[in-house]
Amino acid sequence: MRNMAILVTSCQRDRGAAQTAIRKTWGDVGKPVFFLGEPRMHPWPDEVFLRVSDTYSCVPFKTHGMCWYAMKKLLDYVFICDVDTYVDVEMLYKYPAIQHNYVGHRCDEGHASGGNGYWLSSYACWLLAMEEPPMGYADMWVGKTLEKHGVKLHHDPAYGNGEITKHLSQGTGNYDPKWMYEEHERRLACKRSKSLADTSLFPASST
């Protein structure tokens, strides 16, 4: 059994409603770990505070800290996503990225979209942990750094078409945690409908 975890990029602003929305939806099964920057507060059991700025431009430093966390916890694979990402945990673990070092949905720039989430192997985490991140876009830094070391992105459209994950924000800074609950209810309703359809196709035999 591979040792895997879901790591979520968060911040002080999203520590309340946004993190709670995840905990009460897909996080109830996925058990993610939230990573935040300074100022450090008393962490909840599922939180890690890093000694980095909590600003958006410093997210690469959080990703760098996540990679160190993965190494310290001896994780084989980590799935990194944002606090506004919906994750279908059943689908995520049904098709784990155990054959590749770097898996996600390819952006136009060539790297995996951070909003849709991406997998990193322990090797990819080690490569990133050994580098000094710049300020800017974390997902772009991840892609460029891994490419420099010969690690290519394995593109999987399921991380971009909403099948496994869905980035719920409607632009930078435009996110309402209620969308997480709505997406969760929508998916539960779809699964219930599918279950009922399967039952009608194979009705229980009478005795």
Do residues 83 and 14 touch, judged by C-beta distance below 8 A?
yes
Beta-strand relationship, 102-104 and 154-155: parallel
Ranges of each domain in the chain: 4-201
Which comes out higher in pLDDT, residue 2 or 13?
A: 13
Contacts 24+ apart (CB under 8 A), 157-163: 157/105, 158/91, 158/95, 158/105, 159/103, 159/104, 159/105, 159/112, 159/113, 159/116, 159/117, 159/118, 160/105, 160/106, 160/113, 160/116, 163/88, 163/91
The pLDDT value recorded for residue 170 is 86
Q: Angle at the Cα of 121 (from 116 to 127), degrees rounded to 5?
A: 105
Sign of dihedral through CA atoms 168, 170, 172, 176? negative
User: Whose structure tokens read 């799935």?
Assistant: 79
Distance (Å, whole) CA 120 – CA 6: 11
Distance (Å, whole) CA 40 – CA 119: 27
CATH 3.90.550.50 fits 4-201, yes or no: yes
Structure token digits, residue 171: 């632009």
With pLDDT > 90 as the criterion, what percentage of the chain qualifies?
Answer: 81
From the list 7, 2, 11, 19, the residue with the least C-alpha distance to 142 is 7
pLDDT for 158 beyond 80: yes
pLDDT for 68 beyond 70: yes
The pLDDT value recorded for residue 67 is 98
CA 34 to chain centre: 10
The pLDDT value recorded for residue 40 is 86
The pLDDT value recorded for residue 196 is 65
**Secondary structure class of 51 (helix, strand, coil):** strand
The pLDDT value recorded for residue 1 is 56
pLDDT for 202 beyond 60: no
Among 64-73, 125-134, 185-194, which stretch is predicted with the lowest mean pLDDT?
A: 185-194
Check whether the bond before 43 is cis (ω within 30° of 0): no
Question: How much is the pTM?
Answer: 0.91
The pLDDT value recorded for residue 198 is 62
Structure token digits, residue 54: 């909590």
